[in-house]
Structure 1
Amino acid sequence: MKTKEANVDGFLTEQQENRGYFRYVAPCTFYGSPLPREGLGMQEKKKKPQFMMVFMCIPVAPGKSRVIWALPRNVGVWLDKVIPRWYYHMGPNALFDSDMYLLHVEVINGAQATETHCSEFLNSEHDPIVLPSFQERNFAAAGVENWHKAVYVPTSSDNMVIAFRNWFRKHCKSQVGWAVPTADQLPVTPTKDKLMERYWSHVAQCRSCSAALKAMKALEVALQFASVAVVGFLAVAKGTLVTSVVQRAAVVSLAVLCFGASRWLASFIQKNFYFHDYIHAYK
């Protein structure tokens, strides 16, 4: 991967053998495609398949950013009519939350490190859990101006990390220009359950996820009611409608199945719409 363009507007990197590209558009947009750039925008008799990833990470306050992402494509569009949006959202939500706490703690501990390291996290092909921890600790010790002396970036994909750091240093002086700068800009680290809270940060803002949550809660209550109703039916119909051992076993199994399904659904709702602990330690 090589950097083809680099200026105040961002930079462009292309993969070898014309196998795709990534572009950073200052100050907050990153997009790319596994397809060559030459095929984009060309009108041909046969429409070529196109796929792109667009990611925007917008700093809104010290320690907080608004994330907007999209995956535009012209193939498999019919899947969007079959698979609901909330199902697609579970994957990215898990990706963001899985490293949210660790990345936040590392930035707080390395207060001299850049507050927009999320772009670096996305652009690197290394392990997203281990590498940011290693980098931010070294950045804090070496200082953002000497970041290149504190890390090891041997792969060609690291060219995007280098290009972003150079752009951030040259055009932003290695800091975000907040409207009201303070001596200690980064907020106090909240607890994990508050930092990784998902309902107010996404579900309440997303019509598809909020509608799915309401439907699943209603289904959970219905399953619990069904399990109680089945047990009540067994008590009333014992000796009349339900006479054999096999029939009683089937009714009891149905009640247990309904109750178990309601408990599984409750766990699913909690993990995907409220909070999911990814076993990151508090310290």
Structure 2
Amino acid sequence: MTTNQVFRAFFIALKDFDARDGWIMCSHVAMAIMMAIFPFTIFLLALASQLTTSLNTTEMMELIFGGWPDVVAEPIMRELRAVLAQGSGQTLTLNLLLTVFFASTGVDAIRRAISKSYRRPDLRPYWRKRLTCILFVLCGTITLIGVAVLLVGLPIYFSYFQDVIPILPLEVLNNEFLRVLLAATPLIFGVFACHTILTGAKRSFRSVWPGVLLTIALWVVFAKLFTFYLGNFANYSVTYAGLAGVMSGLMFLYLIAALLILGASFNEALIELKQSENQT
């Protein structure tokens, strides 16, 4: 992969994004994820509290919304705290069906958008596609809880056995670089899974990593820019009043959806460029 191929593929991906209704797909994905984020997070926190009492709700939410700008995540986290404070023992049971439906629908929106960007229709039957989306949600739940245990739970558990367990594991778990790496793992794994597992197509690591890297890199950059924009220019409270926090979250999800679709289009453009060069 040469520098010339990278730049050509990027500009082709930008053209394809507009030509293949990328803006419309972004709206669909953003709305579907926004509808899924509340039931999914509430269910995840309720499940985590059932498994262990050592996990801090705030730290768990910071793990879930770690890739979001603080100014966007804070209003949503505030509403989640209010819901959890009023929750009962039925939260886990009653929220399960809502979580499965809305979260899998949000994942299915991502599946459709990425499949369209790769120009490869997903020919699997409906039940297999929906089952894949449900398993995607369940695996994401397990992954987030596992990372949360590593970041929060294990140091607490190890603290009870400091006399018999060497201090090295505690130092490793408290290392800031490792904590950031573990917190980023669900995000990186999730983007990779969107390209490989979710769409049902067989794609190698070599064929998808450029688009994944592009999405992650632009995610970090645009999260900073979006934070700057909200802090210095945007004033959603004037237009949307009490819905300002929700609308800022929806706008950020719209941006993230665009980056996911652009990453898939970038990979497809690279594949086509390599194939055309091999034929000449």
In the superposition, the TM-score normalised over structure 1's length comes to 0.25
More helix by percentage? 2
Relative contact order higher in (CA < 8 Å, ≥ 6 apart) = 2
The normalised TM-score by structure 2 is 0.25
